[in-house]
Amino acid sequence: MASQNLRTPGPTPLPSAVRDALARDMINHRGPEFAELMHECVDGLKWAFQTQHDLLILTASGSGGLESIVVNTLSPGDKLLAISIGYFGDRLIAIARAFGVDVVPMRLDDGHAADPQQIADALRADPAIQTVFVTHNETSTGVLNPLEAIARAVKETRPEALLLVDGISSVGSVPLQPEEWGMDVVVAGSQKGWMVPPGLAFVSVSPRALERSAQARLPRSYFDWQAHRRSAERGQTPWTPAVGLFFGLQAGLRLMRDEGLERLFERHRQMAAYTRNGLVELDLRLVADSDHASPTVTTAYVPEGINAKELLEALRSRHDVVLAGGQGRLDGKIIRVAHLGWFDQDDLDEALLALRIELNKVRAADSSSPATARA
Amino acid sequence: MASQNLRTPGPTPLPSAVRDALARDMINHRGPEFAELMHECVDGLKWAFQTQHDLLILTASGSGGLESIVVNTLSPGDKLLAISIGYFGDRLIAIARAFGVDVVPMRLDDGHAADPQQIADALRADPAIQTVFVTHNETSTGVLNPLEAIARAVKETRPEALLLVDGISSVGSVPLQPEEWGMDVVVAGSQKGWMVPPGLAFVSVSPRALERSAQARLPRSYFDWQAHRRSAERGQTPWTPAVGLFFGLQAGLRLMRDEGLERLFERHRQMAAYTRNGLVELDLRLVADSDHASPTVTTAYVPEGINAKELLEALRSRHDVVLAGGQGRLDGKIIRVAHLGWFDQDDLDEALLALRIELNKVRAADSSSPATARA
């Protein structure tokens, strides 16, 4: 099977070292080999998260990681200020509501980042809020929130509140510093910058978030942090872990260490700028506010009169270039190009060229079609 | 790295076709390639489950599958008759209690199977029970419950009750027939007879269990069957699936189809009998009642005076034979030998020989030691 140029914001392409690791035979997840493997993975994750907080590895995708931050920090009726700048922020709100949390939603228009001042005001207006959720990088719109400033605003306005962060498409590709900035919980997912297939969620948990989880009364079992923490002391997980994905993660982390965090962050920043320029040159309108454009995924509106699904299908079937479409209210309206994990400028050039060819085709057909000309 | 003879009841060894599949590069989980992959996996699972019920694939280990059967069929305060014949039956009870279910536990001694008559009596004694849980094969003790007779007893005594089954270490290796026997929900896990790494749970759900889930009021999001069912109509999962494990599952199911269900079941039955005989020949006392011995895992007590952990470590480090120890109250008291998935008689011969050598060593040391002789 010919390899595709997979430009979706997860799953991302796998380097051969990771693929070799995924093909390893199984080991006993209650034995010393697994304890050693898990130890190296936890160490590497702490390095990439730039934290000394506890680091838990859940066998679940990112949405399971998000459920874990709700059920471990909140009790029935607790108020949660949940800042959503898109589809995945909305997902966290839906999870929290499903569990009976009293969500105070703060929703921003697509393409815009959250405003630290507005968050501080919302906290001042409601003294009952003791927990705040925010997305770091909104994968559905390609917007990077100003997380350091948001964390500062929360800390200054309500120092005792916990700050929970969805870092699923940022951690490992974009800098963040849990302790220095003041983030209690950060979730990530294996299929993003880690260059590993989906199936693992990573959660960094501060000491006071762990304390909170010992008291929190939402029902939980599979995602219970306390159970994970107890098992971690023996180099195990409470439930059978996705052993093969741990092998892949070990290999991916080694590659990341070889590249180095700073170079890795810089590569993502540069390639994001390159992609934005490339899309603008194709006369596409970008979704994200340019001050808050994501280093890992770039989004653009599909021009009027062009069918997004047909465009994506043409790219896939004729060029082996796989972009992502829009989600929720942006379904059919935007395309998303990921520059995340294992890729280089050639992959982006190929994707941009394919896009140019297909857009030109449709535009040429449009301008020559009397029906369209009338419309 | 030299390959181990992995005789644990999951993870199980991986055939090379599965390992090759696990090393495949990623695809878009929202594209046509994944829809096709998922379709083949669901089809193959229905074949092995011998059912036409809905078949959901969750990205989680078996314990996540167990949580899903609790949160999708029950409401706060509902009564659940939960039959436990060991560690994993107890786990289901703990999950149900964590979610506020009113559990009516029926616990049997280690090594014993559940009694259909006793279950019928318990149902007659409590008309409020509308849901029954039972383990098919208890992995911790190596006991196979008489599931067909249990299902008949439930059906005759309380036809409207849902029967939920933990089939994690049975389905795919041991026959069962959800529709004919009357089982509403059956859970399985990828790291057992399917020859795939851990990380996927499979759940077959009857139409009336699906109806129940539409009404059930326990909080849930990640494990919500309704969300999985809606996405399945488009060949997708609601949350990012463990794509690589689907590749492995596809390969594992093709191997299972090549062998054929009847031959596969017969191989497990024969090898289980072979293992039981082998352990008895080593003067070990079996844990499971011989009428209900498991086709997938055989357990034996460690003789008095022998340290189970040291024995297991000697087998691992000197012979590359990895057996499992006991769990919960059987920790340090038993050993478990799996004959599950991809293995043959040679693997068992090697394990039994290693066990003979190590037992002989300890027994020889014991009989020559004055301290032990006195004890």
Note the pLDDT tens digit of each residue in A152-170.
Answer: 999 999 999 999 999 999 9
Contact of A61 with A167, CB cutoff 8 Å: no
Instruction: Fill in the DSSP letter of residue B241.
Output: -
Sequence-ordered list of residues with C-beta below 8 angstroms from that of B55, at least 6 positions apart, any chain: B42, B45, B46, B49, B202, B203, B204, B205
Q: What is the pLDDT of residues B195-243, one digit of tens each?
A: 999 999 999 999 999 999 999 999 999 999 999 999 999 999 999 999 9
**Average pLDDT of A71-95?**
98
Sequence-ordered list of residues with C-beta below 8 angstroms from that of A275, at least 6 positions apart, any chain: A298, A337, A339, A348, A352
Side-chain-side CA neighbours of A28 within 13 Å: the count stands at: 22
Q: For position B369, what pLDDT does the model report? A: 64
Quick one: pLDDT band at residue B368, thresholds 50, 70, 90?
Answer: confident
How far is B30 from chain A, CA to nearest CA, in Å?
A: 8
Contact state of B23 with A27 under an 8 Å Cβ cutoff: no
Contact of B116 with B146, CB cutoff 8 Å: yes
Q: Which residues of B174-204 are buried (b: 16+ CB within 10 A; e: fewer)?
A: bbbebeebbbbbbbbbbbbbbbbbbbbbbbb
**Average pLDDT of A137-145?**
98
Q: Give the other-Cβ count within 10 Å of A20's Cβ.
A: 14
Q: For position B375, what pLDDT does the model report? A: 38
**B282 in contact with A at a CB cutoff of 8 Å?**
no
Q: What is the mean pLDDT of chain B?
A: 96
The torsion region of residue A77 among left (phi > 0), alpha (psi -120 to 50) and beta comes to left
Instruction: Assess whether pLDDT exceeds 80 at residue B2.
Output: no
Chain A residue with minimum CA distance to B322:
A28
Q: Which of residues 66-85 of A touch B (CB under 8 A)?
A: 67
Structure tokens of A50? 């730039």
Sign of the dihedral defined by the CA atoms of residues A169, A171, A172, A173, in that order: positive
Contact state of B11 with A28 under an 8 Å Cβ cutoff: yes
Chain B residue with minimum CA distance to A316:
B31
Q: Which of residues 210-229 of B touch A (CB under 8 A)?
A: 218-224
Q: For position B1, what pLDDT does the model report? A: 40
CA-nearest of B283, B322, B281, B321 to B301 is B283
φ and ψ of A138, to 5 deg: -85, 110
Q: Where are the beta strands (DSSP E) in B167-286?
A: 185-189, 200-205
Whole-number percent of chain B with pLDDT over 70: 98
Quick one: pLDDT band at residue B374, thresholds 50, 70, 90?
Answer: very low
Q: Give the other-Cβ count within 10 Å of B332's Cβ.
A: 12
**A316 in contact with B at a CB cutoff of 8 Å?**
yes
Q: How far apart, in whole angstroms, are the C-alpha atoms of residue A103 and residue A129?
A: 10
For tokens 């829809």, name the residue: B35
**Average pLDDT of B21-39?**
98
**Average pLDDT of A44-55?**
98
Q: Which of residues 12-31 of B touch A (CB under 8 A)?
A: 12-14, 19-20, 22-31
Q: For position A332, what pLDDT does the model report? A: 97
Q: For position B119, what pLDDT does the model report? A: 98
Q: For position A62, what pLDDT does the model report? A: 98
* Cα-only R_g, chain B: 21
Residue among B31, B60, B100 whose CB faces A60 most closely: B60
Q: For residue A260, count CB atoms less than 10 angstroms from its CB and return exposed for 0-12, middle for 13-18, buried for 19 or more.
A: exposed
Q: What is the pLDDT of residues A304-353, one digit of tens each?
A: 999 999 999 999 999 999 999 999 999 999 999 999 999 999 999 999 99
Q: How far apart, in whole angstroms, are the C-alpha atoms of residue A11 and residue A28?
A: 27
Whole-number percent of chain A with pLDDT over 70: 98
ipTM value of the model?
A: 0.97
Tell which of A30, A61, A310 to mutate to test the B interface (max B CBs under 10 Å).
A61
Q: What is the dihedral of CA A177, A94, A67, B168, to 10 degrees?
A: -150
Residue A321's DSSP bridge partners are A5
Tell which of B59, B246, B321 to mutate to test the A interface (max A CBs under 10 Å).
B59
Quick one: pLDDT band at residue B373, thresholds 50, 70, 90?
Answer: very low
Q: How far apart, in whole angstroms, are the C-alpha atoms of residue B171 and residue B250?
A: 16
Q: For position A373, what pLDDT does the model report? A: 43
Quick one: pLDDT band at residue B330, thresholds 50, 70, 90?
Answer: very high
Quick one: pLDDT band at residue A371, thresholds 50, 70, 90?
Answer: low
Question: What element of type H or E holds B42?
Answer: helix B32-49
**Average pLDDT of A266-283?**
98
Instruction: Assess whether pLDDT exceeds 70 at residue A370.
Output: no
Question: What element of type H or E holds B244?
Answer: helix B243-259
CA-to-CA separations, B222 to A86, A139, A280, B41, B67, in angstroms, rounded: 19, 19, 38, 20, 10
| Opening angle at CA B316, ends B312 and B322, nearest 5 | 75
Higher local confidence (pLDDT), A1 or B144: B144
